Amino acid sequence: MGYSVTWSVFENGEALAEGLAGHVAEVLETAVARRGVALLAVSGGTTPARFFRALSAAMIPWPKVIVTLVDERLVDESSPRSNAGLVRANLLQRSAAAATFVPLFTHGQTAEAVAEAADLVLRNQPWPLDVAVLGMGADGHTASFFPDARGLDTLLDPSSGRLVLPVHAESAGEPRLTLSLPALANAGLPVVHIEGKAKRKVLEEVISGADAPIGRVLAAARQTPAIYWAP
HEC letters along the chain:
CCCCCEEEECCCHHHHHHHHHHHHHHHHHHHHHHHCCEEEEECCCCCCHHHHHHHHCCCCCHHHEEEEECEEECCCCCCCCCHHHHHHHHCCCHHHHHCEEECCCCCCCCHHHHHHHHHHHHCCCCCCCCEEEECCCCCCCECCECCCCCCHHHHCCCCCCCCEEEECCHHHCCCEEEECHHHHHCCCEEEEEEECHHHHHHHHHHHCCCCCHHHHHHHHCCCCCEEEEEC
Which CATH number does 6-196+211-222 carry?
3.40.50.1360
pLDDT score for 8 = 98
Instruction: Output the pLDDT for position 1.
Output: 53
State the pLDDT at residue 2.
65
Give the CA count within 13 Å in the CB-facing half-sphere of 43.
Answer: 24
Q: What are phi and psi of 181, to 5 degrees?
A: -60, -50
How far is residue 132 from each of residues 48, 85, 125, 151, 154, measured CA to CA in Å?
A: 13, 18, 14, 23, 21
Q: What is the pLDDT of residue 150?
A: 98
* Residues with pLDDT less than 50, the chain: none
pLDDT digits (tens, 9 = 90+) for 39-76: 999 999 889 999 999 999 999 999 999 999 999 999 99
CA–CA distance, 212 with 194 (Å, rounded to integer): 16
pTM of full prediction above 0.75:
yes
